[in-house]
Structure 1
């Protein structure tokens, strides 16, 4: 697995149709994700030495891992849950304190309490990517998850709007305390805390209860007095977009609450107790200035004191829940879900924990997603888009009647792959024709590359490649897979050139049959051979098929272009 760093936060509201709506929040990755992951995972890197001014301090930084598989078959057959547990369970258990309750806790457990995992297959040639994200959470046994406690503080379903649970002065103190906590984190070189303690005590300004926000840790929790612990609210920054209103049914809360619940059970030893959890949804978090003056950053902005605007944005929920016990997360118990009686002496097996958290795909079902970036990254596709843009401009300014769609689907047959064939093919390509077939029986000689633009000296080596095949290959290299180019090697029978022997007659009949098939399948034919005799048979055949045929010839001091065919009333000229 490759370590990565990501971030999430409260997406700023968007304005549409004169109204303001909440925007959906997403996990963010950028070019610094790998560098940040290296700094986060290496204990030798001092986090305070990182430039705090470059942090997106309005977002929560988190850690995860990425696994790339070689083939689609490997991706399909891979044990997804096994990969998820193998990559994410050890660091998650360490952050939760589930392995050893006495182990030293990290200063900021946020990166490991809101982790992510990505399993992917990357087709770098086609710029097509298959991926499946997971946001792991410790999974309790069936029926042992966290439960809402109804009837608390007026919340019949265990949920209460914060503006109903707390008065305006207390909510204002919370906003100020949250900003001060962010400023202190910024001073340490950290981003916005994703989890925190909201501790209250009497004696605040104006008779309000003073609210303090402390980053989530066992040290900060145990540093509170027993009275403050009883009034402590455990909070998490919730990026969920919902419309909360009085009397509404239970609303969904963010995925990060799942690991917060496990943290409270294992790290703080609160399993089985009733606690208050704040789903903090301020609606807008502004980036703090550079920590050159931390005191300035700690001072509330004037807009933060606008209680009406802040309350209009805020949709925070106060949740009253009963935490599961530590053994409720242990899947090594008996099949019935009950532990053996305490008086029975049975060998103790180590606890077995599991992760869950695979995201849903676009159809709202568990499964991977895919993205095709060829239109952004493939040189061939970019070249095609540039050519199409030029053609649309020409159509707009000079030729309004030009049917570009017809040209792009037209199948063209080029009889001859010499000087005329190479030049006509490049010209047709410039006009958006993408389906061409070359017919020629000659080979590339050393005199050809100087006059015939689709050939190089490499095509002359070893007796020379067949012109039709070499021209088709060159056209494909120039335009990429978007062009369908084929080279056919055959000899066109000519008047005045008798055939000797049954073998030559049989070969000529096969060539005529193949030529007939090619002309029948084509929408337009270009007659570009270098002798008059070789033009007679294709002219007769195109007339009998009523096909459009363009005759072109070059002389020492002149040239000729003639069109005939596709005329039922007046016969057009032939060669």
Structure 2
């Protein structure tokens, strides 16, 4: 009699699986090359009709992996059976090539063999089939090298098919019998969430058959004559030969009845979701025999296993999936832009919380030289939400110093800076949520004309709304007084406020302290060990006023060394990220940068202020306490704003001396003058000094 031939599995990997592997490799596995459980599925074999020839063409004996392969509770598609496997993802292509594939294959084969239970009635059908997948993911080129193994045991002597060969199931079981099997398998699938790989049949009433699980062998066949016992399997093959799952099923039955010649009734189930008129796809029935005494005596060693998949050339070797040509460029960019950041967590900073940085919504007030560089550095850190605010237009002097503009942006009077910068951010990375808003912020010392009052009132309301919808604010304007209202709002709403200012060859980068009386994120009410950190105005004893009128050309332009702005901008962003990584956030204690100093974040020091000097190529860390009479962050100013809103802003802009009187600076001046007048100056001694 002819020997039974089996159609091996052929892997079918959906591109979504490689996307999930990419995320798993970067975010979870990193350098870990240990075994990872994966799930795959297969369905009953199918054929399609060739439109040109009219012939039926088999779709292959596919084992499919999709995006749910790594989920512990993965469910297969409708009418599909689930198979569990193991994946090993190597870190280099050299490791992939030089791996001991024989040892890996034998390890899985040994495990499968050991899992087969002492009798056909015990164990689970999930133990009968498994697979091994070894991979290497080249995440720079989006090429994935992989090789599947589907271990199956060889019988000795081999299985033989009965004299009648394969026949249609309807002829052996009858139409009513096939219909009853179909209905019961559908019910089992609803109950378990997957199609049954293997099942048992016994005759029922009125030509019907009863269906049981393979695990129920002893109970289910207790009173059924051996010639009426039928073992069924979901057959993924669409050819004359049965599919690969039958091979281990027969080995399973044979190994549990050592030394006994077997003659088994096998049902090859191919009926998918409904009976079909396609004869080649229809379920089939046959007797399969191991007539000679089984060589697998009790306690025998594991038989030889085969099952490495052949590649497209028909040779034993790995395959390669190149996803780059078929990937959406936007999605490709989305995965690639954060690669450098996520690699930090592999060896250098496993504790780095990149998600917290990416979720931070940043508001940039100023879209000039500092604003452009800050936006670019934020993108480098994975920030996805950036809003730019500016009232200017792009001029011909801007593109060489401000990297988000080009020559065309200067034509016809120039594009609005904020909107233009946001547009260029999207060109750099389409996944960024960037927008630009044209807005002129009211400033102390610059009276508001009556005709502009309602417009400025709307501006203040819009600015406050922007603060409510953002987490961190960068003050990047080119005048002292333009930072006043943003400082007041940042203090009132307890936002992260980062300030950057430029001189010719010096820069200042500082973080504003939290609002007085606010608690750290942990919810602790314990007062901080350090004084509340000051804002941009805390070192001044005068209120901000008009610094823009009557200026020469060099005073109207920000005249700085070209390399200064990117240094200051990058420093400001790095300081924000260090704060975000600190457990106390905005309440993080100031540090000077010494290695043995307490209070560092995972990125190191979190200073209050940094003053850089390009002339000396060095920088200093400075800590400054908040001033209780500050015109920007004192409670007197913040509470006055919260009470009167726009009216308070209007008074600060229109009335000279208002902020000094509000904060008590005016009183301080009077006290200082009184002290000076009370001093008994010795004019003779004074003259003698010259």
TM-score (norm 1): 0.48
